[in-house]
Amino acid sequence: MKAYPLKFKTIFKPRIWGGQRLREVFGKDIPVGEKIGESWELADLPEDKSIIVNGELAGKTLAAAVEQYPEQITGDRNFSLPFPLLIKFLDAEDVLSVQVHPDPETCRRMGKGDPKTECWYILSAAPGAVLYKGLKKGVTRDAFASAAQAGTAADLLEKVPVEPGQCHFLPAGTAHSIGAGIIVAEVQTPSDTTYRVFDWNRVDQTGKGRELHIEEALESIHFDVSGLDLPVTTMGRLVQSRHFTIDKGHQAKSCEVLLSPSKMKTLIIISGCGVVKGEASDSVEFRAGDCLLIPATYEGAAFFQADSEYLTVTL
């Protein structure tokens, strides 16, 4: 295989808190009239696997391509699947549930679930929009359990005003919620395990509320960490963790960035457009809202045709 940038078919996820703004912001071809909360851009979960849409690997899943060409794509002939990233865009037209994701130790202790650490890059935020991010200092397990039963758990979380361009890192075990009016790019470990504590008393079309998982949440939350301890970054190296690294880049119109053979990387295009060209492969166009996986052995350059911002994710 001649390495080339891989693009994927988007997987849309209806959510009770979602909307239609991913069409407005990125031109996503989302189903008209549906509340689409998430567009999964790169995924390798049992029920949701990204399918390549360009080049000679078109029609294959990401996992199948990596299994067939591990060294060319990842740089490691012994690369272990599943692919260790899940990348998505979220449209929180309404507030998300108060929730938590477990860490590996909690999953082992409970004998279920998959661990999830994540980060949110704020793409847009309505005036006054907030995140609920981590516990207020001094909140105990007993206090949170009582609040969860009373439907007041959100009152015990730090309420953080947000602005576009911020990156919020949330390690596993952090109680959180995304407030209404926010669109984010989310990078996370490959898990869809979510334990809901409070869902703002919402009901579906049948009058039924979503399932809560208070006992599992209490087992998962790190009560020794306050929301005030969690970092917020805006420039350069946004995240440095054992799971993934994220760097923010900006290029003016007519600039180019060389893509020499090195680490496999994923580019999340936040704004602008351009084309990636290599001597041994066809050019690949990109625009805001695209996610490109650049194989470790690829050699070429990204040419920016407009003022552009992007995130580079490496393992």
CB 99 within 8 A of CB 218: no
Distances (CA, A) of 37 to 17, 40, 206, 264: 6, 10, 20, 28
Catalytic residues: 196
Q: Report which DSSP code applies to 44.
A: B
Residue type for position 13: K
CB 12 within 8 A of CB 306: no
Which one, of 237, 249, 118, lies nearest residue 171 by Cα? 118
Question: How many Å separate Cα 202 from the centre of its chain?
Answer: 24
- The three-point CA angle 182-22-176 to 5° equals 30
Distances (CA, A) of 309 to 114, 183, 273: 32, 16, 9
Distance between CA atoms of residues 20 and 18, nearest Å: 7
Residue 46: HSE in the Cβ half-sphere, 13 Å Cα cutoff: 4
Q: Report which DSSP code applies to 209.
A: P
